[in-house]
Structure 1
């Protein structure tokens, strides 16, 4: 069944209508017609089974047949990602959505190749959010991650956000596999972490000063293997491993199995 996105406030309208862009895709690409049933996701936990009432050129009119409230994951993962250039950042945002990231924080590192001018920030964020929407429809998640405006590592650290575990992808010899940190946390707390943050650097990695600042704030260095990965590969690898660890040992209410 085809999936579409409609913001929460638009879902409350009677009747709800898809945007012009979504309607065009539905009518001209997917060939949706009246009486067809489609799934609408609002990115805030609702999955709506809808019937197409009217297939107009600029607005597909719907009738909600059934509403399913999908609970969020029992944990939240924040990706603090140095802005990658070109399509790489869109790929990172897309895959982070598919892998269940709760929040994506783009970082302007001193070594970031793709610097973002203040005037270009709204357009960049809009493009990244569009990537999360496309990924949402593809994977069927009911929850959109929050994509923040780019900021420096120092500015993010100054906010003092707290997490059960914070990692930084590292090539340092002392970096450990994420599993070791998860096992230590579970052993000490007798529960799985509920909030995890992972920092992924740009091409050439974060500067030594940035790494020291992140580690001074409590981040634990993790290894992603013996090879040097592209920034986008490192982000996907990190989120995949973190998700596996969070899901594999979790029982009801976040307690260990």
Structure 2
């Protein structure tokens, strides 16, 4: 399997086989000095917006890598669009959820400061945490050879979620819900999966979000960790909605 490198500044949409594509900066440095990519090897370069170019490396330098394109793939963004609203969690459980969700095809991620979140992003820590999640997403996209790079939005409070998700069908993952996720049918709207922290979504938050139009759904009889609930739900939706 060839390596995938990302450069969002590249314009790959009109690219044709035979064209030379140059990668520069930190991505090229990583390819050449860390991964030790050499001329003659095959790699992929993506723009994070649906285009992947595969080809053979023709030149390398300390911060430069060039390939001759022989395949150009344009992936349409999957529909419906799926956003993961992941509550901040202790340890690395929220980061594990973000990584797995990205590999499974999530389209966007919103960090959520839930009432029961033990971890807190306050002040400058909020942007630092968002950047950390964005870096995890980027590496997961490269590992899974995805054409689309999900956006990680700024930290949201419970009060902010309805406005941030306006027009989106909001699904609250709640083990005691009467409706199973597998029973839901598409209604034409994009989806947002809201996953609580270790202690689950607080009753007051459930009431507030349901009043704003959210639906409470369950995955199954077992109670999943916050690190696995979102990815499991994404897998179910991928299969049920024809994204896979």
TM-score range, shorter chain: 0.7 to 0.9
Does 2:62 match 1:62?
Answer: no
The equivalent of 2:202 in structure 1 is 207
* 2-structure distance, mates of 1:100, 1:146: 12
Structure 1 segment 154-193 matched on structure 2, within 5 A: 154-159=159-164, 161-163=166-168, 165-172=169-176, 174-182=177-185, 193=188
* 2-structure distance, mates of 1:160, 1:242: 18
Give unpaired runs (5+ residues) of structure 2: 13-19
* 1-structure distance, mates of 2:146, 2:109: 16
TM-score (norm: length of structure 1): 0.83
Q: Which has the higher helix share?
A: 1
Per-residue CA deviation, residues 52-89 of structure 1 (Å, 9 max, x unaligned), is: 23222333233444422111112211111111233222
Give the match's secondary structure for 1:154: coil
Give the match's secondary structure for 1:53: strand
Does 2:16 match 1:16?
Answer: no
Does 2:38 match 1:43?
Answer: no
The equivalent of 1:236 in structure 2 is 231
Per-residue CA deviation, residues 130-181 of structure 1 (Å, 9 max, x unaligned), is: 1111111221210111110111011122345112x32111132x42211222
- The change in CA–CA distance for 1:94 and 1:34 in structure 2 (over 3 A counts) is same
Give the match's secondary structure for 1:55: strand
The equivalent of 1:52 in structure 2 is 57
Give the match's secondary structure for 1:114: coil
* 2-structure distance, mates of 1:177, 1:98: 24
Does 2:67 match 1:72?
Answer: no
Aligned pairs, number: 237
TM-score (norm: length of structure 2): 0.87
Per-residue CA deviation, residues 18-43 of structure 1 (Å, 9 max, x unaligned), is: 433x3344334543211322111221
* 2-structure distance, mates of 1:154, 1:83: 16
- The change in CA–CA distance for 1:19 and 1:177 in structure 2 (over 3 A counts) is same
- Structure 1 contact 109–206 (Cα < 8 Å) conserved: yes
Give unpaired runs (5+ residues) of structure 1: 186-191, 251-257
C-alpha root-mean-square deviation of aligned residues, in Å? 2.3
Per-residue CA deviation, residues 221-257 of structure 1 (Å, 9 max, x unaligned), is: 1112222221011111111112221118x9xxxxxxx
Per-residue CA deviation, residues 157-207 of structure 1 (Å, 9 max, x unaligned), is: 2345112x32111132x422112222xx5xxxxxx6441121110111122
- Structure 1 contact 39–50 (Cα < 8 Å) conserved: yes
* 2-structure distance, mates of 1:93, 1:5: 20
